[in-house]
């Protein structure tokens, strides 16, 4: 009888260190997909439910790491990885580190793992725990580092969320992760300012919400255009609303904030950058020149 490669992949055993909100969701997804799973968590009580569902619970990190070649880490931060794995034998292991980190820390952790005889893959999770193990939720994880490790374990890694390998540089998963998160926080800042403007007026937040959400979705087309302008070097390419016009609108935005009793502290830094670009002759451009001003 022919072997089913998917079934074979689904049986790959692995170890997971860390059963916080994210680690627990990952553990559930691997168990649901039929992977023999060994878990370790600093606070042992958090492993009890998983043990009842078939996970093997290791008493120490060393025992957990020794149990399987593939070891996934989902602890709080890079310091906790250092603390947990300090002195543990990683020879011959495939270490997948899903801790959110900086590119520099990820690169250092990769070198650290390789010095200890392990192959290393870094990961950046683009999801919150309820999205894990739910294929329709759109969750995925950026991976970077050892291509051989990724190719060998891609099937296992894909059980909790889709995978996106972004290169051999171990820092690239973190770089992509934090680039997306940074864009998100800019959007959150705009959302906070918009809701602050209507507070105290007879406009319900739930009335504004679909309008604001729809507007942000429509404006997200600017992401692709910014990329096109950066790659062409022509920041005036296909400009619809030029910088000079947008800076002229500053008075209206700040005036409205003033009238509504709202601090402009989230808007001002961005307008300052737009004005700086205007001062050096970018009036006919899009907003893309701000990218260059941010580079130090």
CA–CA separation, 12 and 1 (whole Å): 20
Strand partners, 71: 15, 95
Instruction: Give the residue, chosen from 100, 146, 229, 242, that forms a contact with ligand NDP under the rule CB under 6 A.
Output: 100
Q: Where are the beta strands (DSSP E) in the chain?
A: 14-17, 37-40, 56-57, 70-73, 94-97, 119-126, 140-145, 162-165
Cβ neighbours around 158 below 10 Å, total: 15
Residue 72's beta-bridge partner residues? 16, 96
Q: Please state the closest distance from residue 170 (CB atom) to ligand NDP, in A.
A: 16
Residue 173 interacts with ligand NDP (CB under 6 A): yes or no:
no
Q: Residue 277 — φ and ψ, nearest 5°?
A: -70, -35
Task: Work out which of 39, 50, 84, 113 binds ligand NDP, going by CB under 6 A.
Answer: 84
Q: What is the dihedral of CA 101, 107, 113, 118, to 10 degrees?
A: 110
> Bridge-partner residues for 15, per DSSP?
38, 71
Based on the shown chain and the rule CB under 6 A, indicate whether residue 23 belongs to the binding site for ligand NDP.
yes
The verdict on 83 binding ligand NDP (CB under 6 A) reads yes
Instruction: Specify the residue, 184 or 230, whose C-beta has the smaller distance to ligand NDP.
Output: 184
Please answer whether residues 276 and 294 qualify as being in contact, where contact means their C-beta atoms are separated by less than 8 angstroms.
Answer: no
With CB under 6 A as the rule, give the number of residues binding ligand NDP: 23
When asked if residue 20 is in the footprint of ligand NDP (CB under 6 A), the reply is: yes
The interface region with ligand NDP, picked from 50-58, 73-81, 161-169, 201-209 by CB under 6 A, is 73-81
Please tell me whether residue 166 binds ligand NDP under the rule CB under 6 A: no
Among 9, 16, 19, 173, binds ligand NDP (CB under 6 A): 19
Q: With respect to ligand NDP, which residue has the nearer C-beta, 12 or 41? A: 41
**Is-contact 59 67, C-beta < 8 A?**
no
**Residue 125 within binding range of ligand NDP, rule CB under 6 A:** yes
43 binds ligand NDP (CB under 6 A): yes
Contact call for residue 76 and ligand NDP (CB under 6 A): yes
End-to-end Cα separation, the chain, in angstroms? 61
96 binds ligand NDP, rule: CB under 6 A: no
Contacting positions for ligand NDP (CB under 6 A) = 18-23, 41-43, 46, 74-77, 80, 83-84, 98-100, 125, 128-129
């Amino acid at each position: 009888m022919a072997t089913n490669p998917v079934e074979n992949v689904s049986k790959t055993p692995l170890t997971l260190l860390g059963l916080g909100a994210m680690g627990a969701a990952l553990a559930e997804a691997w168990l649901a997909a039929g992977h023999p799973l060994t878990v370790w968590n600093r606070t042992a009580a958090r492993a009890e439910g998983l043990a009842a569902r078939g996970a093997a619970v290791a008493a120490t990190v060393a025992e957990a790491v020794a149990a399987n070649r593939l070891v996934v880490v989902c602890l709080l931060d890079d310091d906790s990885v250092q603390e947990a794995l300090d002195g543990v034998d990683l020879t011959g292991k495939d270490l997948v580190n899903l801790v959110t980190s900086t590119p520099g820390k990820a690169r250092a952790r990769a070198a650290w793992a390789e010095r200890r005889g392990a192959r290393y893959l870094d990961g950046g999770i683009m999801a919150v725990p309820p999205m894990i193990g739910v294929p329709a939720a759109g969750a995925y994880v950026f991976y970077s580092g050892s291509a051989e490790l990724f190719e060998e374990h891609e099937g296992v890694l894909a059980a909790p969320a889709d995978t996106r390998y972004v290169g051999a540089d171990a820092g690239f998963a973190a770089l992509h992760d934090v680039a997306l998160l940074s864009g998100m926080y800019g959007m959150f800042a705009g959302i906070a300012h918009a809701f602050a403007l209507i507070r105290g007026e007879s406009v319900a937040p739930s009335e504004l919400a679909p309008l604001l959400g729809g507007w942000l979705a429509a404006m997200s087309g600017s992401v692709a255009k910014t990329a096109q302008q950066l790659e062409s070097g022509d920041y005036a390419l296909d400009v619809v609303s030029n910088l000079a016009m947008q800076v002229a609108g500053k008075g209206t935005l700040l005036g409205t904030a003033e009238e509504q009793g709202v601090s402009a502290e989230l808007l001002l830094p961005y307008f300052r950058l737009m004005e700086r670009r205007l001062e050096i002759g970018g009036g006919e451009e899009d907003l893309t020149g701000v990218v260059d001003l941010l580079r130090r």
